[in-house]
Structure 1
Amino acid sequence: MWIWEIELDRAHDREWTEKSKQTQPYYWWQFLTHDGHDIGYEHKGPLKLALHPYAVYSNFPNQLSDHFSIDKRGFRSNGQGPQREGKKRVLLVGGSTAFGTGLESDRETVAAQLSRLLDVEVINAAVIGHGSGQELTYLLTELVDLRPDVVLALDGWNDYYKRLELHDPRLLGMNGFDEIESQLVALAGLADPSLLKRLTNLPRLLFPRISHRVKYSRIGLWAGWLDRREAPPPSIDLAAHHYVDNLTKMQKVGTAFHYRFLVAMQPDVDHSSDYRHFRETAVSALRRGGIRVLDLGARKEFAPHMFMDQMHLNADGHRVMAEIIAEVIREAHLLAQWQ
């Protein structure tokens, strides 16, 4: 058993050494505590994510790689150096598309290109995997202190797609919480007051990789470690409702902190009918609520060659996104003096 476990561990290390060389369509990640202790059992990629007291996780500060850099505040750099004092400030929140995962350099991101087009400071506070609930929490607990003139939420896909992996509607708009919770449940078994329960869970501690394989094999199914029943995921309409509710709160926060708010919903490569339904439902509700929203998924400027996968865009795609968003910001005078 020990020999098998060691071999599985070595195979895992070799696999992640190769995966870590990948750039497109996304950077692999690794989880750390907020002070830098490694807690990533499975993922061992170059992009470091740290547990966050409010938003579940965020970017670990002070990272530098061949393709991206993260500053001391945990924001992706724009590749332009320090910004000139007195510039207007745009704050970008969102998931991996907004972050610019898979791009060759910081200068290719939508944030960097928006900064050049509008001659403003754009803070890229996006975090891969973040849903609207995490964006709202991150904004309210930390990002409003940066006093942005405009907050841009470039999102939609994670709220739509995450619903397929959830059975509890309370987790809509969030990502990572359910995985952390399941690990806590497993670890709690090792400290259970019952000696029998501790002994039952001991193989997970001594042989974690073997235990993982057994759990997801037919043996695990027969033993009842996996749920045979597939609960249906929350509906698209319910996911859209949660998304709209979170963005509406971001808008209300803007009234208190004197920023203007713009929502840009991500495009996808094949114009999926389900995602289109999610976008149209959300766009309609947001506009009824007086929130300015730009549905990038309905724009014809995005060609298939601009996508690295279903929804991550290459440098050309980020350039087109930046041009469209910059045009809307100019036409709506979002950077004008707050009255």
Structure 2
Amino acid sequence: MYARVTVILIILATAAMWAATIRPADGFAVGIGRYRVEVLAVNVLATYLALLLCYVVLGRRSWKIRAARAVLSLSAILVALLLVELPAALGLVDYREVLYPRLASLEGPDQVQRDPELVFRHPGHGRFEHEVTVQPDDPPAPKDAPAGRQRKVVYRYDRNGFRNPHDLRQADVILIGDSFVEGFAVAEERTCSAQLARLLDVEVANLGHDDYGPPQELIVLRKFGLPLRPRVVVWFFFEGNDLLDLADFEIALGGWRRWLTRGEGFAARCFCLNALERVDLFLEAFRWRDCGLRRKRSARLLPEIRDDDVTMQFGEHYGFGAAELSPYELGLLPKAQEVLAEAKAVCDRSDVRLLVVCVPTKFRVYRDLCMAPEDSQPEGWHVSDLPDRLARWCRAAGIEYVDLTAALQSAARQGPLVYFVDDGHWSPEGHRVVAEAIAEQIRQSGWLESGGQRE
């Protein structure tokens, strides 16, 4: 009787532990996705120990024999883990290479290398694959393709870690920016850089890098852009997070030694922590699913725009929401202007034309083209005046400026999707629109007409 009561108490305590450590149902995650990966690991370990304890209490043999078997079972697991971790401790094995999928957005050793100036960048001549959800306009997928269907996007990088099909010695036009320019989830031949090269019939260098902000982009211009002897530099400024990236870079650069060594120690190579990272990727499948919060951050395209009931998703994970600039962001704006002013000075000294391009958020482009539910968050969102502020400053600084909002909105009104439905980046059609807008600006300015191609 005593043993059974003890087992019941152990089971109740274990259940209470699982119940107490689950995150509130906030709409961001469902099921097992509501557990943080480290909490899940502790809970699984505690549950295993609880099962061993139940075995010791309820077994038919002597409790000493049962306890010895329980200790032996636990010891066998610990010895196995030690044997698995030993090669990593000796630097012979890096389990990231085994457990990390080869995605350009992750921090496996083949995806990101540390850099004392840029903090991080893609390794030279890297090649990765990224699985993304099939979109309504993706050929040859039918419009009624099942939800969650995946397609692969291949990323190839040049010797400097930028998304160019081959190493470049010279380029008449270079594109500077973040993941928009790099071409997140877009095939290489459909990126704005590739399409711009075909439109202008010149070599165009894609120097975009995901998660870069203005300070890193200035370094890219000096270190990798100007050696290509360009005639035109196109600098893309994303209104969604480029201001915040300024602060992130300063924080990271302030502790750059920690950043540089973060991926070199045993903790980065070991099996246990990398296995937890892999489990966390699995848990992502149970987060940001079709739930109430997702519905509140979505809006259906107007029937006169599309008749196939396409819903655009907004918010942090789907393309940034909208709000007035915060005092913190306003405080960062002068720093962004300093970076652009320095870029202008660098270009002027090399007799290179600078074109600053404002990249709008998906919500800014689609806010008047969607029907949002009455209780939705987009219904009360307001866009900021950052593009106007940037335009006024560029005019005063003598910098050519293009806001892509009008071009993208005009194309979106015709029906094709210029942004992904479940992400905030341009679709292949969006890249086409951007390439045409940039090509038109360069042609009108005549920047490539005089002087011929540089030797």
1:283 alignment partner in structure 2: 391
Shift of 1:82: 7.9
Residue 252 of structure 1 corresponds to which residue in structure 2? Answer: 345
- What's the CA shift for 1:140? 1.7
Q: 1:295 to 1:73 in 2, by over 3 A?
A: same
Please state whether the residue corresponding to 1:293 is helix, strand or coil: strand
CA distance in 2, matches of 1:258, 1:173: 31
- The 1-side partners of 2:226 and 2:341 are apart by 16
Alpha-carbon deviation of 1:321?
0.4
SS in 1 for 2:356: strand
Question: CA RMSD of the aligned region, Å?
Answer: 4.2
1:92 counterpart residue number = 175
- Deviation string 1:260-280 (CA, Å, 9 cap, x unpaired) is 111111122111876642222
Unaligned ranges ≥5, structure 2: 1-40, 46-77, 86-94, 130-153, 278-324, 368-380
The alpha-carbon distance between structure 1 residues 211 and 311, as it changes in their structure 2 partners (threshold 3 A), is: closer
In 2 relative to 1, CA 244–291 (structure 1 residues): closer, same or farther, beyond 3 Å? same
Distance 1:206 1:72 in 2: 30
Shift of 1:257: 1.3
Query: Structure 1 residue 58: deviation in Å?
Result: 2.0
| TM-score computed with the length of structure 1 as normaliser | 0.66
Task: Give the counterpart letter for 1:54 in structure 2.
Answer: E
Task: Report deviation, 1:150.
Answer: 0.8
Would you say the 8 A contact 1:54–1:141 is kept in 2? no
Report what 1:313 is aligned to.
Answer: 426
**1:264: which partner in 2?**
357
Q: Distance in 2 between matches of 1:282 and 1:288?
A: 10
Which of 306, 331, 336 matches 2:444?
331
In 2, distance between residues paired with 1:184 and 1:233? 29
Paired position in structure 2 for 1:196: none
Counterpart contact for 1:173–1:243, Cα < 8 Å: no
Measure, in 2, the Cα distance between the counterparts of 1:286 and 1:302.
26
Match of 1:112, as an amino acid? Answer: A
1:102-181 map, 5 Å: 102-103=185-186, 105-157=187-239, 159-160=241-242, 162=244, 171-172=246-247, 174=249, 177=252
Between 174-183 and 238-247, report the one with greater CA deviation.
174-183
Q: Structure 1 residues 137-146 or 108-117, which shifts more?
A: 137-146
**Aligned partner (choices 74, 82, 87) of residue 161 of structure 2:** 74
Distance change in 2, residues 1:184/1:262 (3 Å)? closer
Q: Give the counterpart letter for 1:72 in structure 2.
A: R
Tell whether 2:113 aligns with 1:50: yes
Decide which of 292, 297, 320 is 2:405's aligned counterpart.
297
Asked whether the 8 Å contact 2:190–2:428 carries over to 1, the reply is: yes
The question of whether the paired residues in 1 share the 8 Å contact of 2:171 and 2:205 is answered with: no
- How far the C-alpha of 1:294 sits from its partner, in A, is 0.5
TM-superposed CA distance for 1:259, in Å, is 1.0
The CA distance in 2 between the partners of 1:239 and 1:255, in whole Å, is: 25
Q: Give how far 1:307 is off.
A: 1.1
What is the CA–CA distance in structure 2 between the aligned matches of 1:59 and 1:206, rounded to whole Å?
Answer: 23
How far, CA to CA, are the matches of 1:173 and 1:256 in structure 2?
29
* Rounded Cα–Cα distance in structure 1 between residues aligned with 2:247 and 2:390: 14
Kept after mapping to 2: 8 A contact 1:240/1:282: no
User: How far off its partner does 1:174 sit?
Assistant: 2.9
1:301 positional shift: 2.5
SS at match of 1:130: coil
Q: How many residues align?
A: 269
What is the Cα deviation at residue 155 of structure 1?
A: 2.3
How far residue 75 of structure 1 moved from its aligned partner, in angstroms, is: 2.1
Percent identity of the aligned residues? 24
Q: 8 Å contact 1:133–1:246 — kept in the other structure?
A: yes
Which amino acid is 2:434 matched to? M
Alpha-carbon distance change, 59 to 209 in structure 1, aligned in 2, over 3 angstroms: closer
Q: 1:333 to 1:206 in 2, by over 3 A?
A: closer
TM-score by length of 2: 0.50
